[in-house]
Amino acid sequence: MPTLRQLFLANNAQTTNFPLLLEFERAEGIYMYDKEGRAYMDLISGIGVSNLGHSNPHVIKAIKDQLDKYMHLMVYGEYVQTPQVRFAEKLISLLPPNLQSVYFTNSGAEAVEGAIKLAKRFTGRHQVVAFHNSYHGSTHGALSVMGNEDFKQAYRPLLPGVNFIRLNHADDLRLIDGQTACVIFESVQGEAGVRLPDAEYMQALRIRCYETGTLLILDEIQTAFGRTGKLFAFEHFSIVPDILLLAKALGGGMPVGAFIASNDVMSSFKENPILGHITTFGGHPVCCAAGLAALEVLLSENLVDRVVEKSELFKKILVHPAIHDVRGLGLMLAIEFENFDLNKKIIDRCIDQGVITDWFLHCSNSMRIAPPLIITFDEIQQACEIILDAADACY
């Protein structure tokens, strides 16, 4: 009989020639456990998803309770479904007044697709401005606004009318003009290796969009729900987007994304043509129930309050001749090494020692640190010791 690993390689689509091939049987808190019962510390939260860690009991209860009521009933936007309504209500209560209408999707990339469509439909324009080294997903439209040609060249032609500008280069803002439907921007660039905008630049970007009638789409798919030390990363910069993108941690471990805009902007989908954006499974009631429960836990347990302190502990401990920089915001950090080869060796050794980390798509010489927000100070100390030991062995 073939092993599970052999079946995985034979029957499940592969995205690289070197998958990690780790096989886990259960997960709880910040740990995942293999079939021998060995614990692995998850320092990347399944790439930004598991803000509460794994198997949060409140989220699991919400899922089970909803399963006893109903699952999929109808395509999104037709039936009044309690989990969707309550989840949207809670999200809106935490956002600025202009963000008042939630469109739930299945993923972050789908939220990107919907937001770009919405911006074009509302403004009547077709040009889009995106950023070099940005990442917004892998679907056709999302790939079109990705700022890395290596990941795009095999799939051209992509969407026309997309112009790219540089982060923190105010002169580039002149490319945003009266023909620009939207600017799509990560509040913190994730796959670029956690690159932060200057506050002054963010203010200038917001003003330029106002001046030209351009909608500002902020991609908070990785950054939202406390990851950066505030509930939403745009709060660091004292600006408000026209469209907000959410996913990853939004579902508490279940697949759900969203784009959020004003009622006026979102109403563009109602006519000319009707059903301007359609999803069958977006806003799945079980996913929305899970997301609402996760958000309530995040708020009731004040998990955001200690994110900055935990971030500072990582930065304080992670000092080593091999480490060129530790940068980021909150628990969204990048450890920079000399090159990818050294980074990969250290990552592999960390995994061997029971700490799961990773590299960035657009910054392969940097290690990703994005643990669940529930990580304790003692666990941070343990993780850092393993990273430093790996650096000693590989440097």
Our CA dihedral for 142, 159, 188, 95, rounded to 10 degrees, sits at -70
Distance, in Å, from the CA atom of 148 to the CA atom of 312, rounded to the nearest integer, reads 30
Do residues 266 and 99 lie in contact, with contact meaning Cβ atoms separated by under 8 Å?
no
Q: What is the rounded average pLDDT of the residues 56-68? A: 98
SS3 category, 141: helix
Residue 307 near residue 331, CB atoms below 8 Å: yes
CA distances from 102 to 340, 355, 387 (A): 40, 37, 40
Residue % of the chain over a pLDDT of 70: 100
Instruction: Please state which CATH class domain 4-55+303-394 belongs to.
Output: alpha beta
- pLDDT, tens digit (0-9, with 9 covering 90-100), for 123-145: 999 999 999 999 999 999 999 99
pTM for the predicted model, two decimal places: 0.97
Q: How does residue 152 score in pLDDT terms, banded at 50, 70 and 90?
A: very high
- Predicted local distance difference test score (pLDDT) of residue 373: 98
Confidence of residue 69 (pLDDT cuts 50, 70, 90): very high
Domain boundaries, the chain: 4-55+303-394, 58-300
Q: Furthest-apart CA pair in the chain: how many Å?
A: 66
pLDDT one-digit tens code per residue, 167-217: 999 999 999 999 999 999 999 999 999 999 999 999 999 999 999 999 999
Could you give the CA distance from residue 37 to residue 315 in angstroms, rounded to a whole number?
A: 31
Mean pLDDT of 318-331: 98
Run of H or E including 382: helix 377-394
Query: Per residue in 214-272, pLDDT tens?
Result: 999 999 999 999 999 999 999 999 999 999 999 999 999 999 999 999 999 999 999 99
pLDDT of residue 33: 98
Show the tokens assigned to 179.
């023909």
Cα 244 from Cα 232, distance rounded (Å): 10
Token reading at 102:
């939630």
286 exposed, middle or buried (CB, 10 Å; 0-12, 13-18, 19+)?
buried
Answer yes or no: are the C-beta atoms of 350 and 357 closer than 8 Å. yes
Q: What is the pLDDT of residue 314?
A: 98
Mean pLDDT, the chain, whole residue set: 97
Phi and psi angles of residue 55, each rounded to the nearest 5 degrees, phi first: 60, 45
pLDDT, tens digit, 9 for 90 and up, residues 271-282? 999 999 999 999
- List Cα–Cα distances, 269 to 60, 87, 116, 217, 230, in angstroms: 34, 21, 12, 17, 31
Q: What does the pLDDT read at residue 276?
A: 93
Task: Give CA–CA dist 290/170, Å, rounded.
Answer: 41
Tokens for 113, please give them.
């697709």
Average pLDDT over residues 326-353: 98
Q: Are 369 and 334 in contact (CB under 8 A)?
A: yes
Which CATH architecture best describes the domain 58-300? 3-Layer(aba) Sandwich (3.40)
Residue-level pLDDT at 226: 98
pLDDT at 384: 98
| Token pair of 163 as six digits | 């112009």
From 130, 96, 81, select the one nearest 287 (Cα to Cα): 81
Quickly state the pLDDT bin for 35 (edges 50, 70, 90).
very high
Q: Count other C-beta atoms under 10 Å from residue 292's C-beta.
A: 24
